[in-house]
Chains A and B, each alone.
Chain A
Amino acid sequence: MSRIAERFALLRETDEGALVVFLTAGDPNPVLTERLILTVADAGADIIEVGIPFSDPLADGPTIQASTFRALQHGVTPDAVLDMIARVRSESAVPLVVMTYFNPVWQMGLECFAEHASEAGVDGVIMTDMPPDEAEEWHAVAHQHGLDTIFLIAPTSTTERMRLVAEMSSGFVYCVSRTGVTGARDDLPEEVPQMLEAMRKLTTLPLCVGFGISRPEHVLAVCGIADGAVVGSAVVSLIAQQAEQGEQALLESVHSFVHVLKRATRRGD
């Protein structure tokens, strides 16, 4: 069983949803990212998505675009991110997922990327601009190296497309809450329960909802109907705000925010 599957099995026993937290690798700088990942894990995140920055992040809103830009200014490369993950892995058993776009992976070579990621201790990979239709080769290579392939469904997905995503996914399915790009929002769209219900009929994989999930009350609402909630931009923007306050203050504010988010995943409370 993969680390991701193990984590969901454990969460089912304790009746909790998964808190999935996204961070951009290299923001505010490569050294701090490593410490941030460990802090987020310590604060209770169940899965951490580590973003490998790509120069043209077309599925991302302004917050993650800006963090991507800062990371690239530091010269962060896919190789460097995987090396960083290897160091984190030596200190933590938290499930780690790489989130990126297809081009950086293609340039490294699918086989080479999968091998390097797997050796580093990565558990799964999400590529925002790679729908399952284009992923035949990647799917084979990733599974050879024991990596989960996480694909996305959206509110516009037809049943046929949901079926394809269900077939190609492992670990969990990323359910995009709204038509749009990443970024904190005030409300949760009404169409989410319908999308989850349709997907449940097609897969037993855990379903995690992301895009616009920024507050504890969103996490609470999402965990009432899904297996997990993904928080990205809200954490990234907190990091951007606190980066000037010094390392200790930054780590503490991120820790306490993630801690509060995690509490909202406990259904019994």
Chain B
Amino acid sequence: MSGGLQTVPDSRGHFGIFGGRFVPETLIPALEELEQEYRRAQNDAEFQREFHFYLHHYVGRPTPITFAERLSEWLGGARIYLKREDLCHTGAHKINNTLGQILLAKRMGKRRIIAETGAGQHGVATATVCARFGFQCEVYMGEEDVHRQALNVFRMKLLGAKVIPVMSGTRTLKDATSEAIRDWVTNVRTTHYIIGSVVGPHPYPMIVRDFQSVIGQESREQMIEMTGRLPDVVVACVGGGSNAMGIFYPFLEDSVRLIGVEAAGRGLDTKEHAATLATGRPGVLHGAASYLLQDEAGQVMPTHSISAGLDYPGVGPEHSYLKDTGRAEYVTATDEEALEALQALARMEGIIAALETAHAVAHAIKMAPAMPKDSSILINLSGRGDKDVDIVSRALGGRL
């Protein structure tokens, strides 16, 4: 593995041909300010101490690694380990990033926070840190997702946030993100935009990756401690790709296979999927160049996934880069496979995973039987499934 990966993004936020800053001029000074503040914070021991203090005492880190003993036995191949991000406060990895960004907003003196959300996990994580640190919080959410994820909408409201339903376009995460950017263009002087994934204009993909990389750092040490060595494979689901980037990043220089799993929805042969890296081509959406699901003329295509968090036509620029350099592999799992994996994990390990996460579990289930018994797969168990119980019960139609 070459050392080159650690040098991306370059000073202009480019990961090879991906990344960059494709936003209206109005936002560029705010992005420059954010980048400068972030670089100062990175070198500020007090900031790092505060971030890690709250990661420990508020988020509940380090999260454990669980050996999935019965699942591994059933599959009869590689030993499967689960990095338990579902045990983070608010039930998913999203809070690692929102905590870091709220501390940055505090340093920049911006008291109003906006965010976009798909499944609602990032919205809840943003509303949570806003409540904890006393910030005003408004969350944009596609009207379709407001219905699909009613429980998370109510959680955000309980936490004191305002949830703004977005009625434009496909009324999902893509349009919620566009609307959040429009708000930011308008209120940029007083507002910090907490992007929830490794997407958007530079420096967001870098900042979100760095805050989430605590997942991979802990995993590396824990796997060595538990098994005496690194895992052979790390698997994570990819929508925008923040949990995947967070667990991949500290393993980039190791000889560990990194596999991202995208949503194949109703199948790659239909148009109803969200498999951006598998079937898209380079384009620009929401401020960065990355793989993109688009038509011939460059219009962004509607997507489908049973999991709202993966239902997005773009993907992080660094994943696009890792795909092209070959350092990471990207595969897909269908709605059906995710539902089966969710049930298998629930029955054999007593863990109900989020539908997003279930895509990663599905791929591990596919590959483990063919691997030697002394090998290991580490799955980033990025979130818990309470929010999805309704959708799962409807999808299974009482087949339990």
Bound: A143/B270 CA distance, A: 42
Q: Are B299 and A54 in contact (CB under 8 A)?
A: yes
Q: Are B169 and A56 in contact (CB under 8 A)?
A: yes
Contact string against B for A residues 50-91, beta-carbon threshold 8 Å, 1 for contact and 0 otherwise: 000011111101100100010010000111000000000000
**Shortest distance in angstroms between B301's beta carbon and chain A's nearest beta carbon?**
8
Provide the residues of chain B in CB contact with A155, threshold 8 Å. Answer: 26
Q: Are B286 and A157 in contact (CB under 8 A)?
A: no
B214 at the interface (CB under 8 A from A): no
Provide the residues of chain A in CB contact with B282, threshold 8 Å. Answer: 106
B186 at the interface (CB under 8 A from A): yes
Contact string against B for A residues 239-255, beta-carbon threshold 8 Å, 1 for contact and 0 otherwise: 00000000000000000
Most-contacted residue by chain A among B178, B187, B286 (CB, 10 A):
B178
Given known contacts A55-B169, A133-B28, A158-B29, is B23 in contact with A107 (CB within 8 Å)? no
B25 at the interface (CB under 8 A from A): yes
**What is the number of contacts between chain A and chain B, taking CB atoms within 8 Å?**
116
Provide the residues of chain A in CB contact with B185, threshold 8 Å. Answer: 58-59, 179-181
Q: Are B186 and A78 in contact (CB under 8 A)?
A: no
A23 at the interface (CB under 8 A from B): no
Q: Are A133 and B12 in contact (CB under 8 A)?
A: yes
Q: Are B187 and A129 in contact (CB under 8 A)?
A: no
B229 at the interface (CB under 8 A from A): no
A176 at the interface (CB under 8 A from B): yes
Bound: A176/B294 CA distance, A: 29
Provide the residues of chain B in CB contact with A176, threshold 8 Å. Answer: 24-26
Provide the residues of chain B in CB contact with A58, threshold 8 Å. Answer: 23-24, 178, 181-182, 185, 286
**Shortest distance in angstroms between B34's beta carbon and chain A's nearest beta carbon?**
13
Bound: A224/B296 CA distance, A: 44
Provide the residues of chain A in CB contact with B188, threshold 8 Å. Answer: 156, 179
Q: Are B168 and A104 in contact (CB under 8 A)?
A: no
B30 nearest CB neighbor, chain A only: A156
Among the listed B25, B168, B299, which residue makes an inter-chain contact with A131, where contact means beta carbons less than 8 Å apart?
Answer: B25
Given known contacts A58-B178, A179-B185, is B28 in contact with A72 (CB within 8 Å)? no
Given known contacts A129-B23, A156-B30, A165-B25, is B187 in contact with A179 (CB within 8 Å)? yes
A-B pairs with beta carbons under 8 Å apart, 18 shown: A55-B300, A56-B175, A58-B23, A58-B24, A59-B182, A61-B182, A102-B22, A104-B299, A129-B23, A129-B284, A131-B23, A131-B25, A134-B21, A157-B29, A176-B24, A179-B185, A179-B186, A180-B185
Given known contacts A107-B296, A181-B182, is B189 in contact with A161 (CB within 8 Å)? no
**Shortest distance in angstroms between B225's beta carbon and chain A's nearest beta carbon?**
45
Bound: A58/B189 CA distance, A: 18
**Shortest distance in angstroms between A53's beta carbon and chain B's nearest beta carbon?**
8
B283 at the interface (CB under 8 A from A): yes
Name the 9 nearest CB pairs between A and B, nearest first: A107-B298, A154-B26, A104-B298, A180-B186, A55-B299, A77-B297, A103-B298, A103-B284, A55-B300
List residues of chain A with CB under 8 Å of any chain B CB: 54-59, 61-62, 65, 69, 72, 77-79, 101-108, 128-131, 133-134, 151-158, 161, 165, 176, 179-181
Interface size range on B against A: 35 or more
Provide the residues of chain A in CB contact with B175, threshold 8 Å. Answer: 56
Q: Are A107 and B294 in contact (CB under 8 A)?
A: yes
Bound: A62/B189 CA distance, A: 22
Q: Are B297 and A104 in contact (CB under 8 A)?
A: yes
A53 nearest CB neighbor, chain B only: B299
Q: Are B299 and A157 in contact (CB under 8 A)?
A: no
Contact string against A for B residues 277-312, beta-carbon threshold 8 Å, 1 for contact and 0 otherwise: 000001111110000101011111000000000000
Q: Are A56 and B174 in contact (CB under 8 A)?
A: yes
B187 nearest CB neighbor, chain A only: A179
Provide the residues of chain A in CB contact with B24, threshold 8 Å. Answer: 58-59, 128-129, 131, 152, 154, 176
Q: Are B169 and A152 in contact (CB under 8 A)?
A: no
Given contacts A56-B174, A156-B25, 18 further A-B contacts (CB under 8 A): A55-B169, A55-B300, A56-B169, A56-B300, A57-B178, A58-B182, A59-B185, A61-B182, A72-B299, A102-B284, A106-B283, A107-B298, A131-B22, A131-B24, A133-B28, A152-B24, A154-B24, A156-B28
Provide the residues of chain B in CB contact with A62, threshold 8 Å. Answer: 168
Most-contacted residue by chain A among B169, B181, B182, B189 (CB, 10 A):
B182
**Shortest distance in angstroms between B43's beta carbon and chain A's nearest beta carbon?**
24
Contact string against A for B residues 162-189, beta-carbon threshold 8 Å, 1 for contact and 0 otherwise: 0000001100001100100110011111
Q: Are B285 and A56 in contact (CB under 8 A)?
A: yes
B203 at the interface (CB under 8 A from A): no
Among the listed B26, B27, B182, B298, which residue makes an inter-chain contact with A78, where contact means beta carbons less than 8 Å apart?
Answer: B298
Among the listed B12, B27, B28, B285, which residue makes an inter-chain contact with A103, where contact means beta carbons less than 8 Å apart?
Answer: B285
Provide the residues of chain B in CB contact with A165, threshold 8 Å. Answer: 25
